[in-house]
Amino acid sequence: MGEEGTEGTVHLLCLAASSGVPLFCRSSRGGTPARQQLPFSIIGSLNGVHMFGQNLDVQLSSARTEDTIVVWKSFHDSITLIVLSSEEGTSELRLERLLQMIFGAMVLLVGLEELTNIRNVERLKKELRASYRLIDSFLVDSELIGDLTQCVDCMVSPEGSLLQEALSGFAEAAGTAFVSLVVSGRVVAATESWWRLGTPEAVLLPWLVGSLPPQAARDYPVYLPHGSPTLLDRWWQPLLDPLRACLSLGPRALPAGFPLHTDILGLLLLHLELKRCLFTVEPSGNKEPSPGQRRHLLRSFYALVTATHFPPEPGQQEKVENAACLAQVPRACYQVSGTEEPGSGWRLVALHLGPRLLLLLLSAQSPTHGLRGLATHTLHALTPLL
């Protein structure tokens, strides 16, 4: 979330829908947690205007002032979430998906029954504290993008098949079908049953692991099937070197030496049917712009093309009125961040082929007439990985 701007502030409010009682308020500023809280009068006004609209059968979903976007969303007529963002370049799509992930985080750690059947507000407030660390991870700067794309952040290991084999054997011995190997918040390998988890569970679980303090082993109950395996040494001791190799990949997410054009400063590859993605802004060393700026550019570009250019994602095709509409939608687009003068302005290009969507951030020297060809070549190279 922090990548949407450098100095902006984000406020997240959670209220009981029926009474308007605040359950919690979380904030970030410039991509880091903040203690700043909104006055109760402002919280009451924001909730009041939303409830006023509901009483008139008007659904208030968003509003925009000169420097702030406000988005409201109610869940199960029980919980109302409100987010205010003054971060530069933020979008309604970004904030809407943020609220979906926040509510998913609350369900993951508290349970849907507690949220839809509120018996004791003060007790619920205490129970929700367990979700603060995970919720805050969506408000601050992150190297991941699954919160926005709603796809699982993945990492490609050169020893992927070996790790997958060990993971499958470990899952069978542990007596559980839901196992994944997560490195730096990215899934390296997982069982078939784990991949069948729906959205947002498959995205939330790696984020939850990443938000916890480092531990050698941990039992952490969530509202999903889980086990408590005690067979770590047998399965993973022989694979310490491949596991260390995964750690060395870090935010690059791709094997060392994977061939990418030198103009590529960052990429986002999504498999929209499998709900998986590869995201990296560190394929080309220390070139400008900074990794934080690269993430900001790619996140903003993704929000733009998703909201305006490309057709609905798989599973939403019923919203398209007829086949003629599909024939007219674009499959590629590009944007120059800055001026069109030669040698200036970062290039951003998006290519949608089949179930895959590729976004590239390219250096200012990359010619615009070659963007689609470069994107097509890169997509073909990445296709076997995802």
Q: Average pLDDT by consecutive 10-residue portion of the chain (386 residues)?
A: 60 91 91 83 87 82 91 92 90 92 91 89 93 92 91 90 91 87 90 88 89 71 39 65 75 80 92 91 74 90 88 49 57 80 79 93 88 93 90
Q: Please tell me whether residues 7 and 100 are part of one structural domain.
A: yes
8: in domain: yes
Indicate if 196 and 269 belong to the same structural domain: no
Nearest to 362 by CA among 266, 257, 281: 266
- The Cα–Cα gap between 330 and 350 comes to 10
Q: Is 265 helix (H, G, I), strand (E, B) or coil?
A: strand
* pLDDT value of residue 253: 82
The pair of three-digit structure tokens given for residue 26, joined into one six-digit string: 């979380």
Domain's final residue, options 252, 285, 309: 252
Is residue 227 situated within a structural domain? yes
Is 25 part of any domain? yes
Domain's final residue, options 219, 252, 285: 252
Do 209 and 85 share a domain, yes or no? no
Same domain, 233 and 321: no
146 in any annotated domain: no
Tokens of 49: 């205007």
CA-closest candidate to residue 378, choices 280, 275, 295: 280
Residue 103: the pLDDT is 93
In a domain, 258, yes or no: no
Determine how β-strand 9-16 pairs with β-strand 152-153: unpaired
**In this structure, is residue 259 part of a structural domain?**
no
Distance of CA 381 to the CA centre of its chain: 24
- Are both 226 and 270 inside the same structural domain? no
- Angle of helix 160-174 relative to helix 240-249, nearest 10 degrees, comes to 120
Q: How far apart are CA 187 and CA 182, in angstroms?
A: 4
Residues 126 and 33 reside in one and the same domain:
yes
Angle at 301 between CA 186 and CA 154, to 5 degrees: 10
The CATH number linked to 112 is 3.30.450.70
- Mark which of 185, 220, 252 sits at the end of a domain: 252
293 and 363 inside one domain: yes
Is 244 in the same domain as 268?
Answer: no
Domain that holds residue 44: 2-141
Is the same domain home to 323 and 285?
Answer: yes
Residue 309 lies in a domain: yes
Dihedral (CA of 16, 21, 23, 26) sign: positive
pLDDT of residue 106: 92
- What's the number of domains the chain is made of? 3
pLDDT at 230: 33
Whichever domain contains 274, its CATH number is 3.30.450
In a domain, 147, yes or no: no
Q: Is 157 found in the same domain as 135?
A: no
225-261 in b/e form (b: 16+ CB < 10 A) is eeeebeeeeebbeebeebbebbeebebbbbeeeeebb
- Alpha-carbon span 38 to 35, nearest angstrom: 10
Contact 78, 16 (CB under 8 A): yes
Give yes or no: residues 293 and 205 share one domain.
no
Q: Do 14 and 118 share a structural domain?
A: yes
| Whole-number Cα distances in Å, 185 to 144, 182, 278 | 7, 6, 12
